[in-house]
Structure 1
Amino acid sequence: MFDFWNGSDILPVYGFLIRAAIVYIYIFLIVKVLGQRSTGSIDALDFIFGVVIGDILGEPLTDGELPLAGPISAAALIAGFHLSLSFVALKMPRFRRVLEDEPIILMKHGVILHEELRKAKITLESFLMDLRLNSASDLSEIDYAVLEMNGSISVIKKSKYDSATVSDLNKNVPSKGYPSVLIEDGRIIEANVNKVGNLDWLREQIHKHGYANPLEIFVMTIDESGKTFISPKTRKPAK
Protein backbone atom coordinates (compact mmCIF):
# COMPACT_ATOMS: atom_id res chain seq x y z
CA MET A 1 0.00 0.00 0.00
CA PHE A 2 2.88 2.35 0.81
CA ASP A 3 5.10 1.26 -2.06
CA PHE A 4 5.22 4.87 -3.28
CA TRP A 5 7.01 5.77 0.00
CA ASN A 6 9.12 2.67 0.66
CA GLY A 7 9.97 1.93 -2.96
CA SER A 8 9.45 -1.18 -5.04
CA ASP A 9 11.07 -2.86 -8.03
CA ILE A 10 7.64 -2.90 -9.70
CA LEU A 11 6.33 0.50 -8.58
CA PRO A 12 3.10 1.19 -10.50
CA VAL A 13 2.47 4.39 -12.43
CA TYR A 14 0.22 5.85 -9.75
CA GLY A 15 3.14 5.46 -7.29
CA PHE A 16 5.35 7.70 -9.44
CA LEU A 17 2.50 10.23 -9.69
CA ILE A 18 2.09 10.31 -5.92
CA ARG A 19 5.85 10.73 -5.51
CA ALA A 20 5.86 13.60 -8.00
CA ALA A 21 3.08 15.36 -6.10
CA ILE A 22 4.87 14.90 -2.75
CA VAL A 23 8.21 16.17 -4.10
CA TYR A 24 6.57 19.18 -5.77
CA ILE A 25 4.72 20.22 -2.60
CA TYR A 26 7.85 19.58 -0.52
CA ILE A 27 10.04 21.78 -2.72
CA PHE A 28 7.31 24.46 -2.72
CA LEU A 29 7.36 24.49 1.09
CA ILE A 30 11.17 24.64 1.19
CA VAL A 31 11.17 27.66 -1.13
CA LYS A 32 8.55 29.37 1.05
CA VAL A 33 10.56 28.74 4.22
CA LEU A 34 13.83 29.96 2.66
CA GLY A 35 12.17 33.13 1.41
CA GLN A 36 11.50 34.73 -1.94
CA ARG A 37 14.38 35.74 -4.16
CA SER A 38 14.49 37.25 -7.60
CA THR A 39 15.33 34.58 -10.16
CA GLY A 40 17.50 37.14 -11.90
CA SER A 41 19.71 37.64 -8.84
CA ILE A 42 20.54 34.07 -7.80
CA ASP A 43 24.08 33.95 -6.43
CA ALA A 44 26.50 31.03 -6.50
CA LEU A 45 25.35 29.64 -3.14
CA ASP A 46 21.70 29.59 -4.24
CA PHE A 47 22.68 27.94 -7.51
CA ILE A 48 24.59 25.16 -5.72
CA PHE A 49 21.68 24.66 -3.34
CA GLY A 50 19.22 24.35 -6.23
CA VAL A 51 21.39 21.84 -8.09
CA VAL A 52 21.92 19.65 -5.00
CA ILE A 53 18.25 19.69 -3.97
CA GLY A 54 17.19 18.90 -7.53
CA ASP A 55 19.59 15.97 -7.73
CA ILE A 56 18.55 14.53 -4.35
CA LEU A 57 14.80 14.77 -4.91
CA GLY A 58 14.92 14.01 -8.63
CA GLU A 59 16.43 10.54 -8.34
CA PRO A 60 13.48 8.90 -6.50
CA LEU A 61 11.19 10.18 -9.27
CA THR A 62 13.02 8.09 -11.85
CA ASP A 63 14.02 5.10 -9.71
CA GLY A 64 11.00 3.45 -8.11
CA GLU A 65 13.13 1.15 -5.95
CA LEU A 66 14.52 4.01 -3.85
CA PRO A 67 12.63 4.83 -0.64
CA LEU A 68 11.42 8.42 -0.39
CA ALA A 69 12.25 9.04 3.30
CA GLY A 70 16.03 9.29 2.81
CA PRO A 71 16.06 11.92 0.02
CA ILE A 72 13.40 14.02 1.80
CA SER A 73 15.40 13.96 5.05
CA ALA A 74 18.62 14.87 3.24
CA ALA A 75 16.88 17.75 1.43
CA ALA A 76 15.53 19.05 4.76
CA LEU A 77 19.03 18.99 6.28
CA ILE A 78 20.56 20.88 3.34
CA ALA A 79 17.71 23.42 3.35
CA GLY A 80 18.22 23.99 7.08
CA PHE A 81 21.95 24.45 6.58
CA HIS A 82 21.36 26.90 3.73
CA LEU A 83 18.85 28.87 5.84
CA SER A 84 21.31 29.00 8.75
CA LEU A 85 24.03 30.43 6.50
CA SER A 86 21.58 33.12 5.32
CA PHE A 87 20.80 34.12 8.92
CA VAL A 88 24.50 34.21 9.84
CA ALA A 89 25.23 36.40 6.81
CA LEU A 90 22.49 38.84 7.88
CA LYS A 91 23.73 39.07 11.46
CA MET A 92 27.48 39.08 10.78
CA PRO A 93 28.52 41.48 7.97
CA ARG A 94 32.15 40.31 8.13
CA PHE A 95 31.14 36.68 7.59
CA ARG A 96 28.87 37.82 4.75
CA ARG A 97 31.94 38.54 2.63
CA VAL A 98 32.91 34.87 2.88
CA LEU A 99 29.58 33.86 1.33
CA GLU A 100 29.05 36.75 -1.07
CA ASP A 101 31.57 38.13 -3.53
CA GLU A 102 32.39 41.83 -3.57
CA PRO A 103 31.27 43.74 -6.68
CA ILE A 104 34.15 44.20 -9.14
CA ILE A 105 34.54 47.49 -11.03
CA LEU A 106 35.29 46.60 -14.66
CA MET A 107 35.09 50.12 -16.09
CA LYS A 108 35.84 53.34 -14.22
CA HIS A 109 35.43 56.90 -15.52
CA GLY A 110 35.04 55.54 -19.04
CA VAL A 111 38.22 53.45 -18.92
CA ILE A 112 38.02 49.66 -19.23
CA LEU A 113 40.09 48.03 -16.48
CA HIS A 114 41.55 45.10 -18.40
CA GLU A 115 43.29 43.68 -15.32
CA GLU A 116 39.92 43.42 -13.55
CA LEU A 117 38.42 41.77 -16.63
CA ARG A 118 41.21 39.22 -16.50
CA LYS A 119 40.67 38.56 -12.78
CA ALA A 120 36.94 38.07 -13.37
CA LYS A 121 37.75 35.79 -16.35
CA ILE A 122 35.58 37.87 -18.68
CA THR A 123 36.60 38.28 -22.32
CA LEU A 124 36.29 41.65 -24.01
CA GLU A 125 33.69 40.22 -26.40
CA SER A 126 31.56 38.95 -23.51
CA PHE A 127 31.93 42.29 -21.70
CA LEU A 128 30.81 44.24 -24.77
CA MET A 129 27.84 41.89 -25.21
CA ASP A 130 26.72 42.55 -21.62
CA LEU A 131 27.00 46.29 -22.21
CA ARG A 132 24.82 46.01 -25.30
CA LEU A 133 22.25 44.06 -23.28
CA ASN A 134 22.25 47.02 -20.87
CA SER A 135 21.53 49.43 -23.76
CA ALA A 136 25.05 50.82 -23.42
CA SER A 137 26.65 50.02 -26.76
CA ASP A 138 28.31 53.46 -26.93
CA LEU A 139 31.35 53.12 -24.66
CA SER A 140 31.85 56.88 -24.53
CA GLU A 141 28.58 57.22 -22.58
CA ILE A 142 29.61 54.84 -19.77
CA ASP A 143 31.02 56.07 -16.48
CA TYR A 144 31.09 52.78 -14.52
CA ALA A 145 30.47 49.12 -15.32
CA VAL A 146 30.30 46.79 -12.32
CA LEU A 147 30.28 43.00 -12.09
CA GLU A 148 27.70 42.27 -9.39
CA MET A 149 27.78 39.34 -6.98
CA ASN A 150 25.16 37.43 -9.00
CA GLY A 151 27.33 37.53 -12.13
CA SER A 152 25.42 40.25 -13.98
CA ILE A 153 26.99 43.52 -15.12
CA SER A 154 25.35 46.80 -14.16
CA VAL A 155 26.09 50.06 -15.95
CA ILE A 156 26.19 53.63 -14.64
CA LYS A 157 26.16 56.15 -17.46
CA LYS A 158 27.75 59.58 -17.34
CA SER A 159 25.34 62.16 -16.01
CA LYS A 160 25.05 64.02 -19.28
CA TYR A 161 23.75 60.85 -20.94
CA ASP A 162 21.07 60.20 -18.33
CA SER A 163 17.47 60.80 -19.30
CA ALA A 164 16.86 64.52 -18.91
CA THR A 165 14.57 65.83 -16.18
CA VAL A 166 13.20 69.32 -15.71
CA SER A 167 15.84 70.09 -13.09
CA ASP A 168 18.61 68.98 -15.46
CA LEU A 169 17.72 71.38 -18.25
CA ASN A 170 20.25 74.16 -18.83
CA LYS A 171 22.38 72.95 -15.91
CA ASN A 172 25.89 71.57 -15.70
CA VAL A 173 25.28 68.35 -13.78
CA PRO A 174 28.32 66.89 -11.96
CA SER A 175 29.16 63.22 -12.47
CA LYS A 176 27.51 60.99 -9.87
CA GLY A 177 30.01 58.18 -10.34
CA TYR A 178 30.01 54.98 -8.32
CA PRO A 179 28.30 55.24 -4.90
CA SER A 180 30.21 54.08 -1.83
CA VAL A 181 28.56 52.52 1.21
CA LEU A 182 29.39 54.48 4.37
CA ILE A 183 27.04 52.71 6.80
CA GLU A 184 25.65 49.20 6.47
CA ASP A 185 23.11 47.90 8.99
CA GLY A 186 24.25 50.43 11.60
CA ARG A 187 27.95 49.61 11.12
CA ILE A 188 30.34 52.30 9.84
CA ILE A 189 32.53 51.24 6.90
CA GLU A 190 35.61 53.23 7.94
CA ALA A 191 37.61 52.40 4.83
CA ASN A 192 34.98 54.09 2.65
CA VAL A 193 34.45 56.99 5.09
CA ASN A 194 38.16 57.81 5.00
CA LYS A 195 37.97 58.23 1.21
CA VAL A 196 35.53 61.14 1.49
CA GLY A 197 36.12 62.54 4.98
CA ASN A 198 36.47 61.33 8.54
CA LEU A 199 34.30 60.09 11.39
CA ASP A 200 33.55 63.63 12.60
CA TRP A 201 32.35 64.56 9.13
CA LEU A 202 30.18 61.44 9.05
CA ARG A 203 28.59 62.23 12.42
CA GLU A 204 27.86 65.75 11.20
CA GLN A 205 26.12 64.33 8.09
CA ILE A 206 24.11 61.91 10.23
CA HIS A 207 22.91 64.69 12.54
CA LYS A 208 22.21 66.91 9.55
CA HIS A 209 19.75 64.31 8.25
CA GLY A 210 18.03 64.06 11.63
CA TYR A 211 19.57 60.88 13.05
CA ALA A 212 21.23 60.55 16.45
CA ASN A 213 23.74 57.82 15.59
CA PRO A 214 24.63 55.23 12.91
CA LEU A 215 22.60 52.52 14.65
CA GLU A 216 19.41 54.20 13.35
CA ILE A 217 20.59 53.86 9.73
CA PHE A 218 20.27 50.72 7.61
CA VAL A 219 22.33 52.02 4.69
CA MET A 220 24.04 55.30 3.85
CA THR A 221 25.84 55.92 0.57
CA ILE A 222 27.63 58.83 -1.08
CA ASP A 223 28.38 59.32 -4.75
CA GLU A 224 31.26 61.21 -6.34
CA SER A 225 29.23 64.41 -6.57
CA GLY A 226 28.89 64.39 -2.77
CA LYS A 227 25.22 63.48 -2.73
CA THR A 228 24.26 61.22 0.16
CA PHE A 229 21.42 58.71 0.43
CA ILE A 230 20.12 57.36 3.73
CA SER A 231 17.65 54.55 4.34
CA PRO A 232 16.72 54.23 8.04
CA LYS A 233 16.16 50.98 9.92
CA THR A 234 12.69 52.17 10.91
CA ARG A 235 10.45 54.58 9.06
CA LYS A 236 10.27 58.04 10.56
CA PRO A 237 6.80 59.07 11.79
CA ALA A 238 5.03 61.49 9.48
CA LYS A 239 4.97 65.07 10.71
Structure 2
Amino acid sequence: MDFFHGQEALSAVEWILRSVVTFIFLLFAVKVMGSRAISQLRLLDFIMALMIGNIIAHPLSDHRIGLKGSVISTIVIIILYLIGIFLNLKWPQLRNIIESSPISLIKEGEISYKGLKKARISIDTLLAELRKEKIADVKKVALAMWESDGKISIFLDSQYEAVTPSIYNLKTEPFDLPQTIIKEGKIDYSALQQLNVTEGLLVNTLKTIHQVEVGNVLLCTIDGKKNLNVFLYK
Protein backbone atom coordinates (compact mmCIF):
# COMPACT_ATOMS: atom_id res chain seq x y z
CA MET A 1 0.00 0.00 0.00
CA ASP A 2 3.02 2.30 -0.28
CA PHE A 3 1.66 3.70 -3.57
CA PHE A 4 -0.96 5.57 -1.47
CA HIS A 5 1.72 7.84 -0.01
CA GLY A 6 4.07 10.39 -1.52
CA GLN A 7 7.47 9.01 -2.51
CA GLU A 8 10.61 10.11 -4.27
CA ALA A 9 9.91 7.60 -7.04
CA LEU A 10 7.27 5.07 -8.03
CA SER A 11 7.73 1.81 -9.89
CA ALA A 12 5.65 1.01 -12.98
CA VAL A 13 3.48 -1.35 -10.94
CA GLU A 14 2.88 1.34 -8.29
CA TRP A 15 1.85 3.84 -10.98
CA ILE A 16 -0.58 1.27 -12.39
CA LEU A 17 -2.00 0.50 -8.95
CA ARG A 18 -2.40 4.20 -8.19
CA SER A 19 -4.27 4.75 -11.45
CA VAL A 20 -6.51 1.70 -10.92
CA VAL A 21 -7.38 2.70 -7.35
CA THR A 22 -8.15 6.28 -8.45
CA PHE A 23 -10.32 5.09 -11.31
CA ILE A 24 -12.32 2.68 -9.12
CA PHE A 25 -12.69 5.35 -6.45
CA LEU A 26 -14.03 7.88 -8.97
CA LEU A 27 -16.51 5.32 -10.31
CA PHE A 28 -17.76 4.75 -6.77
CA ALA A 29 -17.89 8.50 -6.11
CA VAL A 30 -19.98 9.18 -9.23
CA LYS A 31 -22.27 6.27 -8.35
CA VAL A 32 -22.88 7.79 -4.90
CA MET A 33 -23.58 11.24 -6.36
CA GLY A 34 -26.08 9.86 -8.88
CA SER A 35 -26.61 10.48 -12.59
CA ARG A 36 -27.61 14.12 -12.06
CA ALA A 37 -23.98 15.07 -11.53
CA ILE A 38 -22.99 13.90 -15.00
CA SER A 39 -26.18 14.46 -17.01
CA GLN A 40 -26.51 18.20 -16.31
CA LEU A 41 -23.88 20.75 -15.43
CA ARG A 42 -25.66 23.21 -13.18
CA LEU A 43 -23.68 25.59 -10.98
CA LEU A 44 -23.28 23.14 -8.10
CA ASP A 45 -22.42 20.29 -10.45
CA PHE A 46 -19.86 22.34 -12.37
CA ILE A 47 -18.05 23.37 -9.18
CA MET A 48 -18.09 19.75 -8.03
CA ALA A 49 -16.65 18.42 -11.28
CA LEU A 50 -14.01 21.14 -11.42
CA MET A 51 -12.79 20.53 -7.87
CA ILE A 52 -12.69 16.74 -8.10
CA GLY A 53 -10.89 16.90 -11.45
CA ASN A 54 -8.15 19.07 -10.01
CA ILE A 55 -7.80 17.07 -6.79
CA ILE A 56 -7.55 13.70 -8.52
CA ALA A 57 -5.27 14.86 -11.35
CA HIS A 58 -2.35 15.94 -9.15
CA PRO A 59 -1.48 12.62 -7.46
CA LEU A 60 -1.66 10.89 -10.86
CA SER A 61 0.88 13.24 -12.40
CA ASP A 62 3.19 13.80 -9.41
CA HIS A 63 4.61 10.77 -7.59
CA ARG A 64 5.58 12.92 -4.59
CA ILE A 65 1.93 13.57 -3.73
CA GLY A 66 0.11 10.86 -1.79
CA LEU A 67 -3.39 9.62 -2.62
CA LYS A 68 -4.58 9.80 0.97
CA GLY A 69 -5.13 13.56 0.96
CA SER A 70 -6.90 13.47 -2.43
CA VAL A 71 -9.25 10.69 -1.34
CA ILE A 72 -10.12 12.48 1.90
CA SER A 73 -10.67 15.78 0.04
CA THR A 74 -12.90 14.09 -2.52
CA ILE A 75 -15.01 12.42 0.19
CA VAL A 76 -15.49 15.77 1.89
CA ILE A 77 -16.52 17.41 -1.41
CA ILE A 78 -19.01 14.61 -2.12
CA ILE A 79 -20.55 15.00 1.33
CA LEU A 80 -20.83 18.77 0.80
CA TYR A 81 -22.35 18.17 -2.62
CA LEU A 82 -25.00 15.81 -1.22
CA ILE A 83 -25.77 18.27 1.58
CA GLY A 84 -26.11 21.03 -1.00
CA ILE A 85 -28.53 18.92 -3.08
CA PHE A 86 -30.60 18.16 0.06
CA LEU A 87 -30.77 21.81 1.08
CA ASN A 88 -31.54 22.77 -2.50
CA LEU A 89 -34.59 20.49 -2.48
CA LYS A 90 -35.74 21.48 1.01
CA TRP A 91 -35.50 25.29 0.80
CA PRO A 92 -36.72 27.01 -2.41
CA GLN A 93 -35.08 30.26 -1.28
CA LEU A 94 -31.66 28.60 -1.38
CA ARG A 95 -32.53 27.00 -4.71
CA ASN A 96 -33.17 30.44 -6.20
CA ILE A 97 -29.71 31.55 -5.06
CA ILE A 98 -27.83 28.50 -6.34
CA GLU A 99 -29.88 27.95 -9.50
CA SER A 100 -31.04 30.99 -11.44
CA SER A 101 -34.67 31.27 -12.54
CA PRO A 102 -35.55 30.62 -16.22
CA ILE A 103 -35.16 33.65 -18.49
CA SER A 104 -37.60 34.42 -21.30
CA LEU A 105 -35.80 34.86 -24.64
CA ILE A 106 -38.72 34.70 -27.06
CA LYS A 107 -42.39 35.28 -26.32
CA GLU A 108 -45.14 35.08 -28.94
CA GLY A 109 -42.66 35.40 -31.79
CA GLU A 110 -40.83 38.43 -30.36
CA ILE A 111 -37.21 38.33 -29.18
CA SER A 112 -36.55 39.78 -25.72
CA TYR A 113 -33.32 41.79 -25.88
CA LYS A 114 -33.36 42.19 -22.09
CA GLY A 115 -33.61 38.43 -21.76
CA LEU A 116 -30.63 37.93 -24.07
CA LYS A 117 -28.54 40.37 -22.03
CA LYS A 118 -29.54 38.75 -18.75
CA ALA A 119 -28.70 35.27 -20.05
CA ARG A 120 -25.50 36.62 -21.64
CA ILE A 121 -26.08 35.00 -25.01
CA SER A 122 -25.98 36.50 -28.49
CA ILE A 123 -28.55 36.56 -31.25
CA ASP A 124 -26.35 34.13 -33.21
CA THR A 125 -26.43 31.63 -30.33
CA LEU A 126 -30.21 31.89 -30.08
CA LEU A 127 -30.65 31.38 -33.82
CA ALA A 128 -28.26 28.42 -33.73
CA GLU A 129 -30.39 26.77 -31.02
CA LEU A 130 -33.51 27.35 -33.11
CA ARG A 131 -31.83 25.74 -36.13
CA LYS A 132 -30.99 22.68 -34.02
CA GLU A 133 -34.73 22.31 -33.41
CA LYS A 134 -35.40 22.70 -37.17
CA ILE A 135 -37.04 26.11 -36.62
CA ALA A 136 -36.27 28.64 -39.35
CA ASP A 137 -38.72 31.39 -38.40
CA VAL A 138 -38.63 33.09 -34.99
CA LYS A 139 -42.27 34.12 -35.47
CA LYS A 140 -43.30 30.45 -35.12
CA VAL A 141 -41.98 30.30 -31.55
CA ALA A 142 -44.55 30.81 -28.80
CA LEU A 143 -42.00 30.68 -25.97
CA ALA A 144 -38.25 30.12 -25.58
CA MET A 145 -36.72 29.96 -22.12
CA TRP A 146 -33.08 29.96 -21.01
CA GLU A 147 -32.88 27.27 -18.31
CA SER A 148 -30.51 27.19 -15.34
CA ASP A 149 -28.50 24.33 -16.89
CA GLY A 150 -27.63 26.44 -19.94
CA LYS A 151 -30.13 24.84 -22.31
CA ILE A 152 -32.93 26.57 -24.19
CA SER A 153 -36.47 25.17 -23.97
CA ILE A 154 -38.45 26.00 -27.11
CA PHE A 155 -42.22 25.75 -27.59
CA LEU A 156 -43.81 26.30 -30.99
CA ASP A 157 -47.06 28.14 -31.54
CA SER A 158 -49.89 25.59 -31.63
CA GLN A 159 -50.66 26.27 -35.30
CA TYR A 160 -47.12 25.18 -36.23
CA GLU A 161 -47.06 22.03 -34.10
CA ALA A 162 -46.69 18.72 -35.92
CA VAL A 163 -49.94 16.92 -36.69
CA THR A 164 -50.40 13.86 -34.45
CA PRO A 165 -53.05 11.09 -34.42
CA SER A 166 -54.43 12.45 -31.14
CA ILE A 167 -55.58 15.64 -32.91
CA TYR A 168 -57.98 13.59 -35.07
CA ASN A 169 -58.77 11.11 -32.25
CA LEU A 170 -57.18 8.28 -34.24
CA LYS A 171 -56.42 5.00 -32.50
CA THR A 172 -52.80 3.90 -32.66
CA GLU A 173 -50.97 0.71 -31.84
CA PRO A 174 -49.33 0.60 -28.39
CA PHE A 175 -45.59 1.18 -28.30
CA ASP A 176 -43.68 -1.99 -29.01
CA LEU A 177 -39.89 -2.09 -28.59
CA PRO A 178 -38.37 -4.72 -30.90
CA GLN A 179 -36.00 -7.15 -29.20
CA THR A 180 -32.65 -8.23 -30.59
CA ILE A 181 -32.47 -11.98 -31.20
CA ILE A 182 -29.41 -12.13 -33.49
CA LYS A 183 -26.37 -9.90 -33.25
CA GLU A 184 -23.24 -10.31 -35.38
CA GLY A 185 -24.23 -13.81 -36.46
CA LYS A 186 -24.96 -15.10 -32.94
CA ILE A 187 -28.39 -16.01 -31.58
CA ASP A 188 -29.50 -14.59 -28.23
CA TYR A 189 -31.08 -17.70 -26.73
CA SER A 190 -32.28 -15.89 -23.58
CA ALA A 191 -34.31 -13.50 -25.76
CA LEU A 192 -35.77 -16.43 -27.71
CA GLN A 193 -36.82 -18.08 -24.47
CA GLN A 194 -38.56 -14.92 -23.24
CA LEU A 195 -40.43 -14.61 -26.54
CA ASN A 196 -41.31 -18.32 -26.70
CA VAL A 197 -39.63 -18.62 -30.09
CA THR A 198 -37.69 -21.77 -30.93
CA GLU A 199 -34.33 -21.78 -32.65
CA GLY A 200 -35.72 -24.02 -35.38
CA LEU A 201 -38.54 -21.61 -36.17
CA LEU A 202 -36.09 -18.71 -36.34
CA VAL A 203 -33.68 -20.54 -38.64
CA ASN A 204 -36.49 -21.73 -40.92
CA THR A 205 -37.98 -18.24 -41.13
CA LEU A 206 -34.62 -16.77 -42.09
CA LYS A 207 -34.12 -19.42 -44.79
CA THR A 208 -37.61 -19.40 -46.30
CA ILE A 209 -38.50 -15.70 -46.13
CA HIS A 210 -35.15 -13.90 -46.09
CA GLN A 211 -32.99 -16.57 -47.83
CA VAL A 212 -30.14 -16.10 -45.40
CA GLU A 213 -28.17 -18.12 -42.86
CA VAL A 214 -27.79 -17.04 -39.22
CA GLY A 215 -24.04 -16.49 -39.64
CA ASN A 216 -24.65 -13.87 -42.36
CA VAL A 217 -26.99 -11.74 -40.19
CA LEU A 218 -25.51 -8.57 -38.70
CA LEU A 219 -28.66 -7.78 -36.70
CA CYS A 220 -32.10 -9.31 -36.39
CA THR A 221 -34.93 -7.90 -34.28
CA ILE A 222 -38.45 -9.14 -33.63
CA ASP A 223 -41.54 -7.16 -32.68
CA GLY A 224 -44.63 -8.09 -30.67
CA LYS A 225 -46.30 -9.54 -33.78
CA LYS A 226 -43.33 -11.84 -34.39
CA ASN A 227 -42.22 -9.87 -37.46
CA LEU A 228 -38.49 -10.01 -38.16
CA ASN A 229 -36.29 -7.12 -39.27
CA VAL A 230 -33.08 -8.51 -40.74
CA PHE A 231 -29.90 -6.51 -41.43
CA LEU A 232 -27.12 -8.26 -43.36
CA TYR A 233 -23.38 -7.66 -43.53
CA LYS A 234 -22.66 -5.26 -46.38
Length-normalised TM-score, structure 2 = 0.68
Q: Which residue of 2 aligns with 1:196?
A: none
Which secondary structure does the structure 1 equivalent of 2:149 belong to?
Answer: coil
Name the aligned partner's letter for residue 30 of structure 1: A
Listed as ranges, the gaps of 5+ residues in structure 2 are 169-234
Q: Which residue of 2 aligns with 1:117?
A: 116
Is the Cα contact below 8 Å between 1:144 and 1:156 reproduced in 2?
A: yes
What pairs up with 1:65-84 in 2 under 5 angstroms? 65-84=64-83
Q: Which residue of 2 aligns with 1:29?
A: 28
Q: Distance between the aligned counterparts of 2:127 and 2:37, measured in 1? A: 25
How far is the alpha carbon of 1:96 from its aligned partner?
1.3
Whose radius of gyration is greater, 1 or 2? Answer: 2
What pairs up with 1:174-193 in 2 under 5 angstroms? none
Answering whether residue 79 of structure 2 is matched by residue 86 of structure 1, we say no
Name the aligned partner's letter for residue 104 of structure 1: I
Answering whether residue 138 of structure 2 is matched by residue 139 of structure 1, we say yes
Q: Which residue of 2 aligns with 1:51?
A: 50
- 1:9-68 per-position Cα deviation (integer Å, ceiling 9, x unaligned): 111111111111111111111111111227452212101110110110111001011111
Is the Cα contact below 8 Å between 2:102 and 2:145 reproduced in 1?
A: yes
How far is the alpha carbon of 1:120 from its aligned partner?
1.3
Which secondary structure does the structure 1 equivalent of 2:36 belong to?
Answer: coil
RMSD, aligned CA = 1.7
Length-normalised TM-score, structure 1 = 0.67
Is the Cα contact below 8 Å between 1:136 and 1:155 reproduced in 2?
A: no
How far is the alpha carbon of 1:107 from its aligned partner?
0.4
The change in CA–CA distance for 1:157 and 1:114 in structure 2 (over 3 A counts) is same
What pairs up with 1:1-239 in 2 under 5 angstroms? 2-37=1-36, 39-169=38-168
Which secondary structure does the structure 1 equivalent of 2:53 belong to?
Answer: helix
Q: Distance between the aligned counterparts of 1:45 and 1:3, measured in 2? A: 34
Which secondary structure does the structure 2 equivalent of 1:105 belong to?
Answer: strand
Q: Distance between the aligned counterparts of 1:85 and 1:167, measured in 2? A: 42
Count of aligned pairs: 169
How far is the alpha carbon of 1:3 from its aligned partner?
2.8
When structure 1 is superposed on structure 2, of 55-64 and 159-168 the one drifting more is: 159-168
Is the Cα contact below 8 Å between 1:3 and 1:11 reproduced in 2?
A: no
The change in CA–CA distance for 1:51 and 1:38 in structure 2 (over 3 A counts) is closer
Q: Distance between the aligned counterparts of 1:158 and 1:136, measured in 2? A: 11
Q: Distance between the aligned counterparts of 1:75 and 1:28, measured in 2? A: 12
Which secondary structure does the structure 2 equivalent of 1:10 belong to?
Answer: coil
Is the Cα contact below 8 Å between 1:142 and 1:155 reproduced in 2?
A: yes
Which secondary structure does the structure 1 equivalent of 2:153 belong to?
Answer: strand
Which secondary structure does the structure 2 equivalent of 1:33 belong to?
Answer: helix
Listed as ranges, the gaps of 5+ residues in structure 1 are 170-239
Name the aligned partner's letter for residue 127 of structure 1: L
